[in-house]
Amino acid sequence: MKVLLLAGEESGLVYAEGLKARLSDCEIRGYGDYGFKTADLAVMGFWPVIKKLFYFLRVARTMKRAIAEWRPDVVVTVDYPGLNLKLAAFAKSRGVPAVHLVCPQVWAWHRGRIPKVAAALTKLLCFFPFEPELFVGTGLDAKFIGHPMVDVFAQERTDADGAAAAASGKKTLALLPGSRMGEIARNMPRLLAALALLGKRDDLEVVVPAANARAEALLPAMTANAPFVRVQRGGARDLLRRADCAAVASGTATLEAALARCPTVLVYAVSPLLAWFARRVIKGVHFVGLANVIWEKSRGGQDAPAAEAPMPELLQEAFTPEAVAGRLRAWLDDPAARADAVKRLDDAMALLSSDGDALGRAADEIRSAAEGRA
Q: What is the structure's pLDDT at 153?
A: 84
Say if CB 291 and CB 254 are below 8 A apart.
Answer: yes
Residue 285 pLDDT > 70, yes or no?
A: no
Residue 212 pLDDT > 80, yes or no?
A: yes
Q: What is the structure's pLDDT at 167?
A: 52
Q: How far is Cα 20 from Cα 34, in angstroms, rounded to an integer?
A: 17
Summarised one tens digit per residue, pLDDT across range 18-27 is 999 999 999 9
Q: How far is Cα 93 from Cα 75, in angstroms, rounded to an integer?
A: 12
Closest CA to 326 of 279, 282, 267: 267
- Span 241-251, mean pLDDT? 93
Q: How far is Cα 265 from Cα 313, in angstroms, rounded to an integer?
A: 6
The secondary structure of residue 308, as a DSSP letter, is: G
Summarised one tens digit per residue, pLDDT across range 112-163 is 899 999 999 999 999 998 899 999 999 999 999 999 888 888 877 654 444 4
Q: What is the structure's pLDDT at 160?
A: 46
Q: Give the contacts of 153 (CB within 8 A, at least 6 positions apart).
A: 237, 256, 259, 260
Residue 354 pLDDT > 70, yes or no?
A: no
What confidence tier does 164 reach under pLDDT thresholds 50, 70, 90? very low
Between the alpha carbon of residue 50 and those of residues 60, 312, 369, the distances in Å are 15, 33, 35
Q: How many C-beta atoms lie closer than 10 Å to residue 230's C-beta?
A: 13
Report, in angstroms and rounded to the nearest whole number, the Rg of the chain calculated over CA atoms: 21
Summarised one tens digit per residue, pLDDT across range 169-206 is 789 999 999 988 888 999 999 999 999 999 888 889 99
Closest CA to 31 of 58, 69, 68: 58
Q: What is the structure's pLDDT at 345?
A: 94
Say if CB 7 and CB 16 are below 8 A apart.
Answer: yes
Closest CA to 105 of 296, 285, 292, 348: 285
Q: What is the structure's pLDDT at 278?
A: 62
Residue 300 pLDDT > 70, yes or no?
A: no
The secondary structure of residue 300, as a DSSP letter, is: T
Dihedral of alpha carbons 55, 56, 60, 63, sign: positive
Q: What is the structure's pLDDT at 124?
A: 98
Q: What is the structure's pLDDT at 280?
A: 57
Q: What angle do CA 171, 205, 209 make, to 5 degrees?
A: 115
Summarised one tens digit per residue, pLDDT across range 302-349 is 666 788 899 999 998 999 999 999 999 999 999 999 999 999 999 988
Q: How far is Cα 75 from Cα 22, in angstroms, rounded to an integer?
A: 16
Average pLDDT, the chain: 88
% of the chain exceeding 70 in pLDDT: 90
Position 71, amino acid: R
Lowest mean pLDDT among 204-213, 215-224, 344-353: 344-353
Q: What is the structure's pLDDT at 161?
A: 46
- Span 106-111, mean pLDDT? 79
Q: How far is Cα 222 from Cα 184, in angstroms, rounded to an integer?
A: 10
Q: What is the structure's pLDDT at 254?
A: 92
Q: What is the dihedral angle through the alpha carbons of 327, 332, 337, 338, rounded to the nearest 10 degrees?
A: 110
- Span 10-36, mean pLDDT? 93
Residue 165 pLDDT > 70, yes or no?
A: no
Q: How far is Cα 67 from Cα 88, in angstroms, rounded to an integer?
A: 10
Between the alpha carbon of residue 285 and those of residues 7, 152, 249, 323, the distances in Å are 26, 27, 18, 23
pTM of the model: 0.74
Position 340, amino acid: D
Residue 369 pLDDT > 70, yes or no?
A: yes
Q: What is the structure's pLDDT at 279?
A: 65
Q: How far is Cα 189 from Cα 175, in angstroms, rounded to an integer?
A: 11
Q: What is the structure's pLDDT at 27?
A: 97
Summarised one tens digit per residue, pLDDT across range 51-71 is 888 999 999 999 999 999 999
* Better-scored residue on pLDDT, 11 or 100: 100
Q: φ and ψ at 196, to 5 degrees?
A: -60, -35
Q: What is the structure's pLDDT at 76?
A: 98
Exposed/middle/buried for residue 149 (C-beta within 10 Å: 0-12, 13-18, 19+): buried
Q: Give the contacts of 170 (CB within 8 A, at least 6 positions apart).
A: 203, 204, 205
* Better-scored residue on pLDDT, 72 or 278: 72
